[in-house]
């Protein structure tokens, strides 16, 4: 029995793992780990760049800019009733026509609702009008004429009318309001209200604007 145990063959040396194989496997793991880290770093950098680009676009190109409202001209119809210095009779129809433009500086359209214009004469409301809604295309300017029928009775009641007729000028205040919404790719939607308050002095003889001062305000 002792002799048989002594002559039993040993396992082949090739089946036992060597130190070289272990080092190769460890090196392969390191290479794979480095590739994975590089891949994750590239993906993270891509997301960071994309986020920066989106933020830059939001604060530059996609930033909602204030629509610009401007009073281009004002004219009075039937003003001949007072050009000769006579006080207009009650019931006489005098109208003010305001030429207003709205500039949309955004890359998206500005859709606005009905416009409102109110006319004041020395603090007293003497007329108002509503204009139809519409759409101002991207980076375009639209023009509209708004006719305000003046309440002659209220003008006649003002103690300043005689002095204005003597000076040859008529000073009134117009208040216009336009509300709407700017829609950018159905992603960025902003409600915008544009207001303009103008003090206009009209020369009664030439019917030209002698002086005009306007203040604008935008609510987002």
User: pLDDT per residue over 35-58, tens digit each?
Assistant: 888 888 888 888 888 877 766 665
Residues 55 and 71 occupy one common structural domain: no
User: pLDDT per residue over 109-129, tens digit each?
Assistant: 888 888 889 999 999 999 888
Say which residue the tokens 């030429």 belong to.
99
Is 56 among the domain residues? yes
Is 96 among the domain residues? yes
Pick 5 or 62 by higher pLDDT. Answer: 62
Say which residue the tokens 């994750």 belong to.
40
> Quick check: 15 pLDDT over 90?
no
Please state, for a pLDDT cut of 90, what percent of the chain lies above it.
6
For residue 59, the model assigns a pLDDT of: 61
Residues 144 and 51 occupy one common structural domain: no
For residue 136, the model assigns a pLDDT of: 83
Residues 36 and 69 occupy one common structural domain: no
Look at the chain and report how many structural domains it folds into: 2
Say which residue the tokens 């026509």 belong to.
97
> Looking at residue 197, which CATH number applies to its domain?
2.60.40
- The β-bridge partners of 160 are none
Q: Which of 40-49, 60-69, 84-93 has the highest mean pLDDT?
A: 40-49
CA distances from 202 to 16, 28, 78, 105, 212 (A): 108, 89, 14, 31, 9
For residue 23, the model assigns a pLDDT of: 72
Residues 53 and 110 occupy one common structural domain: no
For residue 197, the model assigns a pLDDT of: 92
Residues 41 and 117 occupy one common structural domain: no
Is 4 among the domain residues? no
- Residue finishing a domain among 14, 35, 63: 63
For residue 119, the model assigns a pLDDT of: 92
Q: Quick one: how far is CA 84 from the chain centroid? A: 46
Is 19 among the domain residues? no
Q: What is the pTM of this model?
A: 0.65
Is 41 among the domain residues? yes
Alpha helix stretches (DSSP H) within 114-188 = 152-156, 161-167
How far apart CA 189 and CA 196 sit, in angstroms, is: 23
How far apart CA 206 and CA 141 sit, in angstroms, is: 28
């Amino acid at each position: 029995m002792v002799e048989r145990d002594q002559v039993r063959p040993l396992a082949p040396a090739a089946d036992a793992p060597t130190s070289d194989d272990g080092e190769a496997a460890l090196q392969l793991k390191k290479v794979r780990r480095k590739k994975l880290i590089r891949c994750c770093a590239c993906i993270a950098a891509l997301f960071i760049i994309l986020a920066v680009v989106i933020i830059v676009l939001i604060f530059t190109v996609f930033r909602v800019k204030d629509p610009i409202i401007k009073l281009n001209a004002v004219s009075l119809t039937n003003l001949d009733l007072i050009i000769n210095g006579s006080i207009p009779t009650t019931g006489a129809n005098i109208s003010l026509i305001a030429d207003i433009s709205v500039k949309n500086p955004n890359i998206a359209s500005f859709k606005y609702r009905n416009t409102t214009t109110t006319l004041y004469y020395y603090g007293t409301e003497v007329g108002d009008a509503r204009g139809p809604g519409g759409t101002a295309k991207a980076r375009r300017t639209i023009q509209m004429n708004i006719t305000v029928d003046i309440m002659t009775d209220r003008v006649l009641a003002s103690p300043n009318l005689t002095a204005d007729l003597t000076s040859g000028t008529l000073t009134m205040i117009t208040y216009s309001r336009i509300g709407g919404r700017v829609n950018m790719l159905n992603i960025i939607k902003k409600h915008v209200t544009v207001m303009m308050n103008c003090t206009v002095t009209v020369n009664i003889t030439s019917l030209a604007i002698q002086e005009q001062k306007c203040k604008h305000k935008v609510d987002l």
